[in-house]
Structure 1
Amino acid sequence: MTPTLLLAVHGTRDPRGTAAARALARRVAHRTGAPVRLGFADVRGPDVGEAAAAIDGPIVVVPAFLAAGYHVGVDIPAQLERAGRADALLTSALGGDDLLIAAAAHRLHQAGWRPGDAVVLAAAGSSDSGALDQVADAAGRLGRVLGTRVPAGYITTATPSVPDAVARARRHPGQRVAIASWLLAPGLFHRRLAQAGADLVAAPLCPDDGVVAAVAARYHAAALTTAAT
């Protein structure tokens, strides 16, 4: 039996963010040929557990998160357990995938970045040190793609803040600073970046094809594991 792909996203009150999540689910369904459902880890429903409870048969849960913080490590597994679907196979978050690094670079080029511009990678932030390490790793890898040092800045919780990181990156008065968005969808966090003092801000990663491919790759790998058991 083909496992259902349950796409777990954060959730937002911004209708554009919800529309981006639904569009991602549709594109993943088209790419994989699998049944795809959407569940929200926070803010709105159905939560991941509620969505899982409505599915018959095997489930692969792919968390559309850029780091494995609280939601991926604690919240989503707890929602699945409460719903009686602790049998669902939970994949890793998306942030460690080279496809997303390429997507961030692509978005930055679309925003007008050019060699010589300083870059800050703007992430949501977390109190989880492991999640922050993953963001720092992503910033380093993006820097290697772009050929320049890329520090991370955080929109909430962690330091440095994005405005502080932008100010530090501006090495002289004429220096342009670009923000690479380590965010999947539009919403409050991305809107805040417009006030961070940068000269240009890249769009969120969705609906870049790299995000679709990263979700599909995790699903296919997990589905093979499910079929072998």
Structure 2
Amino acid sequence: MSTLGTNPRLLLVAHGTRSAAGRRVLGRVLLETRKQLPGVDCRLAWVDVQSPGPDRVLADAAPTVVVPAFLARGFHVTHDVGQACREAPGPVVQTPHLGAEPEVVRALMQRLAESGAVGAFGADAVVLGAAGSKNESSLAETRTLAGTLSDLLGVPVTSGFASAASPTIAEAVERFRAGGLRRIAVATHLLAPGFFADRMAAAGGDIVSPPLGAHPEIIDLIARRYRDNSASIDH
């Protein structure tokens, strides 16, 4: 049996990273999710760099809720995770990705606050640093989130991308400086340390918030995605 009791399994699917720190953070995300969902077999799969892939985990045909651990909807969510779910031999439901849900917004705000970017002596402007995508709906999602953060913070917020889209994070920081803004923060819109997080740290911001990682709000969101979709699984 690959499930505990009668509950469908939870499969959290992340990108994968060569960063040892990134792997530790995602392992912590899985551990904290297990604490939130007692009696549920919680597992982790990857779409790149690491194994197993989601198709390999789903091959046993166990009833599974698949939660894409991605902050924007791009190729990995629609193709890699989607194809694995469509071709799975057993009952599977794929939930929405993490997206710009209120939990993500609150986690981003708290990470910025922890970094000293919020308040009277905080940042004059913020670059929301995302991984980037060639998918226009993914980029639009990030830009909309930047607008939400601007409303909450009361300072200009724009999006910048670590790959596949423009402006880059460094370009977005420089544009703010060219406009006369002095103290620029980069909000790291990533789950874990790794290649993209390193790019954000080197983009010239005065403040760089850490990745969201196993923030309690992120764990709450993953658990909510599971609970909202587990009843629809046939098992």
Which bracket does the TM-score occupy, shorter chain normalised? over 0.9
1:172 is aligned to 180
1:42 and 2:67 aligned:
no
Q: What's the secondary structure of 2:11's corresponding residue?
A: strand
Q: Is the 8 A contact 2:85 2:94 kept in 1?
A: no
Residue identity over aligned pairs, in percent, reads 35
Q: In the TM superposition, what is the alpha-carbon distance from 1:147 to its structure 2 partner? A: 1.7
TM-score by length of 1: 0.93
CA–CA distance in 2 between the matches of 1:10 and 1:200?
26
Q: Is the 8 A contact 2:98 2:221 kept in 1?
A: yes
TM-score by length of 2: 0.91
Q: In the TM superposition, what is the alpha-carbon distance from 1:169 to its structure 2 partner? A: 1.6
Q: Is the 8 A contact 1:178 1:200 kept in 2?
A: yes
1:51 is aligned to 57
Q: For each residue in 1:29-73, what CA deviation from the matched residue of structure 2 results, as whole angstroms up to 9, or x when unmatched?
A: 11021210110011110001112224x531000000001110111
Q: What are the within-5 Å matches in structure 2 for residues 1-229 of structure 1?
A: 1-33=6-38, 34-54=40-60, 57-85=62-90, 87-115=91-119, 117-170=124-177, 171-172=179-180, 175-226=182-233
Q: Is the 8 A contact 2:132 2:161 kept in 1?
A: yes
Which is richer in helix?
A: 1
Q: Is the 8 A contact 1:50 1:83 kept in 2?
A: no
Q: Is the 8 A contact 1:49 1:80 kept in 2?
A: yes
CA–CA distance in 2 between the matches of 1:201 and 1:121?
10
Q: What's the secondary structure of 2:138's corresponding residue?
A: helix
Q: Aligned Cα RMSD in Å?
A: 1.6
Q: Is the 8 A contact 2:64 2:233 kept in 1?
A: no
Q: What's the secondary structure of 1:11's corresponding residue?
A: coil
Q: Which runs of 5+ in 1 are unaligned?
A: none
Q: Is the 8 A contact 1:120 1:151 kept in 2?
A: yes
Please identify, of 179-188 and 141-150, the stretch whose mean Cα deviation from structure 2 is larger.
141-150
